[in-house]
Amino acid sequence: MFHILKSLFNLNRTWLDEKDTMKKFLIVGLGNIGQEYAETRHNIGFKVLDSLAQQEDFTFETAKLGDLATFKVKGRSILCLKPSTYMNRSGKALKYWMDKENIPLENVLVITDDINLPFGTLRLKAKGSDGGHNGLKDIQQVLQTTKYNRLRFGVGADFGKGRQIDYVLGEWNEEEKDALPERFKKTDELVRSFVLAGVNRTMNQFNGS
């Protein structure tokens, strides 16, 4: 009888652990640490999370491999991460916190810049190539899969031949700065939708907006 009760207890605990795991999410904003990068196009992942922090009233603290913060939405726990590993080692920080917090890959969302989209355009995808982006390239290599959720924030491609690095590491122009707050409202809504409604419904609602 004791063994039966113990087995039932272990099964129930496993079910509860799995249920709790499905309520945990990891949102990773890509960027480079250091004040010299703070307002650059390549750091849009950090800026999106900063906007979310202001909206949801939470603060980041320095932790292993990045700045970390948590907040809750309708019973779901969201872990926000700004890696301190620099862009081309983003996968290390993502994998560390995903494993440490036991967060399933389908509950991970990576936020990054994209020169192939017009400024401010949002495109959420559940899989895809790295598109030549060093941060996504490293994440793909570390995870050994292209099937992870990513939100691409368009930064445009207003640069000449051979000037891509200068462009993405350059700061926003005045017109872009004026437009960013409205775009951040949309990314705040998108992140909450991803957590509450799932990636497919969120793609249908927000892609191209």
Quick: pLDDT tens for 32-85: 999 999 999 999 999 999 999 999 999 999 999 999 999 999 999 999 999 999
DSSP state of 84: S
pLDDT value of position 161? 87
Annotated ligand binding at 96? The verdict is no
For residues 80-117, one letter each, b for 16 or more C-beta atoms within 10 angstroms of the residue's C-beta and e for the rest, the string is bbbbbbbbebbbebbbbbbeebebeeebbbbbbbbbeb
| Amino acid at the residue 94 | L
- Helix 134-143 to helix 90-100 angle (10° resolution) is 40
CA angle 104, 121, 132 (to 5 degrees): 65
Question: Span 24-206: which CATH code?
Answer: 3.40.50.1470
Annotated ligand binding at 167? The verdict is no
Q: What residues does each domain of the chain span?
A: 24-206
Residue 143 has pLDDT above 70, yes or no: yes
Tell me the sheet residues that pair with 125.
150
Start-to-end CA span in the chain (Å): 59
* pTM, two decimal places: 0.88
Number of neighbouring beta carbons within 10 Å of residue 166: 10
Residue among 90, 82, 114, 118 nearest 128 (CA): 114
Q: Percentage of residues in the chain with pLDDT exceeding 70? A: 89
pLDDT value of position 19? 54
Sign of the alpha-carbon torsion through 42, 43, 48, 49? positive
Annotated ligand binding at 148? The verdict is no
Higher pLDDT, 11 or 120: 120
pLDDT value of position 15? 41
Cα–Cα distance for residue pair 53/201, rounded to 1 Å? 24
What are the catalytic residues? 42
CA distances from 200 to 75, 113, 123, 128, 185 (A): 21, 21, 12, 15, 20
